[in-house]
Each structure stands twice: as C-alpha cells, then as structure tokens.
Structure 1
Amino acid sequence: MSLELVWNNEQEEMEIDDRLISLLEDILQKAGIQEGVDSGEVDLTFVDNKRIHELNREYRGIDRPTDVLSFALNESGEDEPEIVYEVDEDEQGGIPDMLGDIIISVTRAKEQAEEYGHSLERELGFLFVHGFLHLLGYDHQDEASEAEMMGKQEQVLSQVGLTR
C-alpha cells in the first residue's frame, strides 16, 4: 500500500508533533483499506479560523469559518478543469496519484473537541477522515448519506482507538 500523507502547518495555535502525524497516517491507511484505495497522495494543511474563513468564502461562497475543507483533484465537475499529469517515460515511479487537499482549522477543532467533550486528537482524526471521504466522493446532503459517512468515519476512528 502506498497511500501517502503530505502535510503543512500554517497556524500557530498548536504544535503539530510527530505523534499526531503518525496517528493521522494510521487513520489514512485504515481509511484507504476500508475504501479500497491503495495508493495516492493526500495533502493536509493545518490553518486557523481566519485562513479557513477566507478559503470557505473564496471557494464555496460561504462567508464564515468552517472546520474542514476538501478539494478533490480527481473529480471534474462541469466547470472544473480536469487535471492530467504526464509522466516522462524515463522517470522511475512517476508522480503519485494526487487524491486532493484537506484543510483543517485547528481553531474550530479545539472548539468542537471541547463542545463534544472528547480529545483534540479525536476531533482532528474525525475531521481528517471526514475530509478523506469527501475526496473519494462521499457527501452528506441527506440523512442516508450522512449516516453512511458517519458509520465509515466511526469505524476507522475505532480502529485507531479514537472512540467517543
């Protein structure tokens, strides 16, 4: 399995340590196995409320902060250009399949962890697997699809010990 997590930290509210990244990598592997995705790259960026507010307004037209945003790169809607990577025949391995970007507001994650009465790690794990499922095309526009997504998220989180 070659599912890879690449991450960036663009916030100063919380130190992002190796333990957290290791946990998120484990979540990615378990979610990949669950969904039959055995290769690809997921780019994760940690931001604050100000930055996620800007992104939410710019890309979704919603003028408020949110907890997580996902931008799938293998999805092309009517108005979205299809992204095609060409690999030179001489290159070994080529470019990994880019699944997309997940952006998490550490500010909102802290608020929600407190509100729901669970750890910050659980909230960050929940937001990450939620974003990953969005990259794969899952949505929660109605009760049935929301229940399906919640079940998949909880199954992955329980495998890494992040239960409620």
Structure 2
Amino acid sequence: MEPLVDIVIEDARWEALGLDALADKAARGVLAELGLGAEGFMLCVMGCDDARIMELNTDFRAKAKPTNVLSWPSEERGAEDDGAAPDLPEAGDDEMPEELGDIAIAYETCAAEAAEQGKSMVDHVTHLLVHGTLHLLGFDHIREKDAALMEGCEISILAKMGLANPYD
C-alpha cells in the first residue's frame, strides 16, 4: 500500500511538528467526509518557510508576500454553478494512484496566525491542510455559495477530528 501523502520538508521545524502525520490525518479526513476512501489517491505536501512560499506566491499568484498555504490541483474539478459540489475524482490503484495535486505550507506565517488567533499550531495547521486538500478536490471560496459549502465541509471534518470551528 502506497502512502497517501508524499511529504517534502524544506524547513526542519515541520519535522518537529509532525507535518507528515498531520497531513495524512487531514487528507484522510477530507476523503472520508466526501465518501472517498484513502486508497488510490496521492497528494504532495511541502513544509517550507515564508521566504519559499513568498517565491511561490509571487510566481503563481503575482502576490509578492508570504501566505499560509498554497495548493495546486492536478486538474480543475470545480463546479460551474456557485454552491454546487465539485466533480470528485475516481480512485486509482496502488500502482497508479489518482494524483490530487500539491500543497505548500509556510511555518512562520502559520505560527504567527496560530498565536494571533489563540490556537495551537497543530490545530491551525490541521485546519489549513484540510483547507488545502479541499482546494485540490475542487472546493473554493471565491463565490459566496462555494465558500459556504467549503467552510461547512471544513467545520464538519475538523469536528470529527475533535477540533473547534475555525470560523467562530
């Protein structure tokens, strides 16, 4: 059985936090919530620092500043109608899992946000990994009904993990 999440650590602080276990838990929680099993799927999560995520944010979004998390879906899965469910992928197999895409997450920004919001780093990072994984699956928050759908999924997934509503 292949692992669900391929982890790339560019900043050693992520190892100490246990990014690999957090990413696996988040991805499995998202897939379970959407009625997809974890088998036959793969995604990549890179734990980096603010300098690296700023480069990525500049290159891919033309925003020359750090951010907490970025995601790159392997394909467009978003729904055309605001508030409609995305087109979910079918699982691959052990030899050729369905690649969902890539996520990058920045340590300093996450730590600052967690402190500012009075949350543990683990809880905040778990939320951001759930958020990023949902993006890989076609969820978004640009349109109002899409945002409500995505936030509802996040709240439900995090509650099943024993975490509080991040939007309260």
- Give TM-score scaled by structure 2 length: 0.79
Query: Which aligned runs of 4 or more in structure 1 are off by greater than 2 angstroms?
Result: 17-24, 36-39, 92-95
Aligned position for 2:67: 66
Residue ranges of structure 1 left out of the alignment (5+ in a row): 77-91
Q: Which residue of 1 aligns with 2:54?
A: 53
Q: Secondary structure at the match of 2:102?
A: strand
Counterpart contact for 1:3–1:32, Cα < 8 Å = no
* CA contact 2:17–2:122 (8 Å) conserved in 1: no
Give the 3 Å change call, closer, same or farther, for CA 3–147 of structure 1 in structure 2. farther
Report the number of matched residues.
Answer: 149
Alignment of 1:135-146 (within 5 A): 135-146=136-147
For 1:17 and 1:24, how far apart are their aligned partners in 2? 14
Q: Distance in 2 between matches of 1:68 and 1:150?
A: 16
TM-score, normalising length: structure 1: 0.80
CA distance in 2, matches of 1:150, 1:2: 30
User: Helix, strand or coil for the counterpart of 1:42?
Assistant: strand
Fraction of identical pairs, as percent:
31
Q: Give the alignment of 1:75-90 within 5 angstroms.
A: 75=76
Residue matched to 2:102: 101
Give unmatched runs, 5+ long, in structure 2: 78-92
Contact 2:2 2:94 in 1 (8 A): no
Show the counterpart of 2:111.
110
SS state at 1:101 partner: strand
**What is the RMSD of the two structures over their aligned residues, measured on CA atoms?**
2.4
Letter paired with 1:123: H
- Rounded Cα–Cα distance in structure 1 between residues aligned with 2:122 and 2:138: 24
**Higher gyration radius (CA):** 1
